[in-house]
C-alpha cells in the first residue's frame, strides 16, 4: 500500500480510522514510514491522552536508575514526609509506587472526582487525600487517571526538579524531542478544549496551578516523537547509542504482570504499559482516540499514531498490525 492507498483507507474505512492525524514508524532502527493528514505536519503535536501514563512509567524508571528513588517497592508516603494523613486512615501507609504503576492502588471513591481534583490548587495533594480507604490493599486492578497524579509529585520530591524539567532533561532531550513547555493551569473551558481540540498543537504538557504536570493525561507529542520513544523501548533503553533507561527497567515496565478484564480487551498490564498478548514481543502505551506507541520486538518495529479525541476506539492495535506493519516490509 502506498501513501495514497493509506489515505484512502483512513478516510473511507469502516472502522475507527477517520480520526488519525499522523503515523510514523521505525523499522530496524531506521525511519520506515511517515504519514500526515488533516492539516498536520510531521513536527506537529497532538494531545496523546493516556499515552502520558506510559511516559510517566519511563520517568519513574529513570528516577530509579539515577538513584532518586530506591525502587518500585518504596512506600508512597516516604516521599511525602510533610503530608498530613487524615485521622483514622491506615491503608495509605502501605501503598507503594508499584501499586500506582500497576493500577492496584486503593482509592476512596467509586468514580474519579474530576471536579474536586481539577479545581484544587495542588492536584498531587488532592490525589493523596483520596489514596487509601477502609477496604485496604486488595490488589484489584482499578484504572485511575487522577490517582496517578501522585507520580508527578513523586518525581518532584525525589529529584528536586519539576517533573517537566526532569522529563525534558532525562527523556525528551536525549531522544531529540523538542522541549516540552508548560501549558499552565486554566479554566474548565480550557481543560475541555485541551481534550477536544482537533487542531495541531505545540509541544506542551498540562500543569496544575503549582506547575506540576498531569500524570494521567495532558502531554502533547507527534507520532514521530512516540515512534522514537518506542524505538528506545525496542532497543532495551538505548537510543542512537545513548543509554536513556536501563534494560532491566524497560523489561520490568513492559512485563505482563496482570490479566485485564474484557473492558480492557483482555490484555495484560505492566507498569502503565499494555501487553496485548503474552509471548509475541508486543507492548504498547495506549490513550483515548487510538493514540498509541506500538512496539514489536519480533519484527523490530516501533510505530507512533496520533488521533483526535474519539471515544471507545479499541481497534488501533489491529489497524497497525493489519495495515502499517506490512507497509514497512
Specify the CATH number for the domain of residue 300.
3.40.710.10
Q: Tell me the whole-structure pTM to 2 decimals.
A: 0.97
199 and 315, same structural domain?
Answer: yes
Does 9 score more than 70 pLDDT? yes
Q: 272, 101 in Cβ contact below 8 A?
A: yes
173 and 304, same structural domain?
Answer: yes
| Domain endpoint, select from 101, 123, 155 | 155
Provide the CB-side half-sphere exposure for 30 (13 A, CA): 4
| Domain endpoint, select from 155, 190, 221 | 155
Residues 200 and 203: their CA atoms lie apart, in Å, by 10
The residues, ordered by sequence, that sit 6+ positions from 240 with a Cβ below 8 Å of its Cβ are 176
User: Tell me, what's the pLDDT at 169?
Assistant: 98
Instruction: Report the number of distinct structural domains present in the chain.
Output: 2
| Residue entry with cell 468514580 | 111
Residue 21 in grid coordinates: 492525524
208 and 150, same structural domain?
Answer: no
Phi first, then psi, for residue 280 (nearest 5°) are -110, 10
Q: 213, 207 in Cβ contact below 8 A?
A: yes
* pLDDT-based confidence at residue 11 (cuts at 50, 70, 90): confident
132 and 209, same structural domain?
Answer: no
Residues 81 and 94: their CA atoms lie apart, in Å, by 14
Higher pLDDT, 315 or 294: 294
In the chain, % of residues over pLDDT 90: 86
Q: What angle do CA 122, 177, 196 make, to 5 degrees?
A: 55
- 225, part of any domain: yes
| HEC letters along 61-124 | HHHHHCCCCCCCCCEHHHHCCCCCCCCCCCHHHHCEHHHHHCCCCCECCCCCCHHHHHCCCCHH
Residue 28 in grid coordinates: 530496524
174 and 81, same structural domain?
Answer: no
171 and 317, same structural domain?
Answer: yes
Q: How many residues does the chain have?
A: 329
- CA distances to 81, 113, 133, 313 from 88, rounded to whole Å, are 18, 22, 10, 42
Does 312 score more than 90 pLDDT? no
Q: Report residue 219 CA to chain centroid gap.
A: 8
* Domain with 310 in it: 3-51+161-327
20 and 133, same structural domain?
Answer: no
- 258, part of any domain: yes
Does 217 score more than 80 pLDDT? yes
Does 109 score more than 80 pLDDT? yes
* pLDDT-based confidence at residue 313 (cuts at 50, 70, 90): confident
* pLDDT-based confidence at residue 56 (cuts at 50, 70, 90): very high
189 and 289, same structural domain?
Answer: yes
User: Tell me, what's the pLDDT at 1?
Assistant: 59
- 306, part of any domain: yes
Quick: pLDDT tens for 179-206: 999 998 678 888 889 989 999 999 999 9
193 and 139, same structural domain?
Answer: no
Residues 254 and 277: their CA atoms lie apart, in Å, by 12
- 68, part of any domain: no
- 246, part of any domain: yes
| Alpha-carbon torsion, ordered 84, 118, 168, 38, to 10 deg | 160
Q: 180, 169 in Cβ contact below 8 A?
A: no
Phi first, then psi, for residue 9 (nearest 5°) are -60, -45
| Domain endpoint, select from 123, 155, 187 | 155
- 62, part of any domain: no
Q: With CA atoms as reference, report the closest residue to 155 among 215, 107, 221.
A: 215
Does 108 score more than 90 pLDDT? yes
Q: How many Å from the N-terminal Cα to the C-terminal Cα in the chain? A: 11
What are the residues facing 291 on neighbouring strands?
287
- 228, part of any domain: yes
262 and 115, same structural domain?
Answer: no
215 and 238, same structural domain?
Answer: yes
* Sign of the Cα pseudo-torsion (294, 296, 299, 301, in order): positive
262 and 319, same structural domain?
Answer: yes
The residues, ordered by sequence, that sit 6+ positions from 25 with a Cβ below 8 Å of its Cβ are 31, 32, 33, 227, 301, 302, 303, 304, 324, 327, 328
- 14, part of any domain: yes
Amino acid at each position: 500500500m502506498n501513501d495514497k492507498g493509506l489515505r484512502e483507507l483512513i478516510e473511507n474505512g469502516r472502522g475507527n480510522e477517520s480520526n488519525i492525524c499522523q503515523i510514523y514508524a521505525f523499522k530496524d532502527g531506521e525511519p520506515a514510514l511517515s504519514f500526515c493528514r488533516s492539516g498536520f505536519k510531521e513536527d506537529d503535536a497532538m494531545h496523546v491522552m493516556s499515552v502520558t501514563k506510559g511516559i510517566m512509567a519511563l520517568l519513574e524508571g529513570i528516577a530509579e536508575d539515577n538513584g532518586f528513588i530506591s525502587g518500585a517497592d518504596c512506600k508512597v508516603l516516604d516521599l511525602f514526609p510533610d503530608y498530613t494523613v487524615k485521622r483514622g486512615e491506615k491503608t495509605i501507609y502501605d501503598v507503594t509506587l508499584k501499586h500506582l504503576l500497576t493500577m492496584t492502588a486503593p482509592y476512596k471513591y467509586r468514580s474519579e472526582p474530576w471536579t474536586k481534583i481539577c479545581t484544587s490548587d495542588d492536584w498531587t495533594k488532592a490525589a493523596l487525600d483520596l489514596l487509601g480507604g477502609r477496604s485496604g490493599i486488595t490488589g484489584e486492578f482499578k484504572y485511575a487517571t487522577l490517582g496517578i497524579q501522585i507520580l508527578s509529585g513523586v518525581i518532584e520530591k525525589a529529584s528536586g526538579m519539576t517533573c517537566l524539567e526532569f522529563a525534558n532533561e532525562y527523556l525528551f532531550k536525549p531522544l531529540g524531542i523538542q522541549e516540552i513547555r508548560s501549558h499552565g493551569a486554566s479554566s474548565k473551558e480550557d481543560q475541555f478544549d485541551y481534550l477536544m481540540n482537533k487542531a495541531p498543537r505545540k509541544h506542551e504538557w498540562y500543569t496544575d496551578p503549582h506547575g506540576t504536570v498531569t500524570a494521567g493525561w495532558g502531554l502533547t507529542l507527534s507520532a514521530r516523537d512516540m515512534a522514537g520513544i518506542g524505538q528506545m523501548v525496542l532497543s532495551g533503553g538505548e537510543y542512537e547509542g545513548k543509554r536513556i533507561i536501563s534494560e532491566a527497567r524497560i523489561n520490568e515496565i513492559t512485563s505482563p504482570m496482570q490479566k485485564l478484564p474484557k473492558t480492557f480487551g483482555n490484555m495484560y498490564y505492566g507498569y502503565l504499559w499494555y501487553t496485548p498478548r503474552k509471548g509475541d514481543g508486543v507492548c504498547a502505551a495506549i490513550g483515548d482516540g487510538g493514540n498509541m506507541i506500538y512496539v514489536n520486538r519480533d519484527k523490530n518495529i516501533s510505530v507512533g499514531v496520533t488521533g483526535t479525541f474519539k471515544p471507545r476506539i479499541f481497534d488501533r492495535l489491529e489497524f497497525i498490525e493489519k495495515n502499517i506493519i506490512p507497509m514497512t516490509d
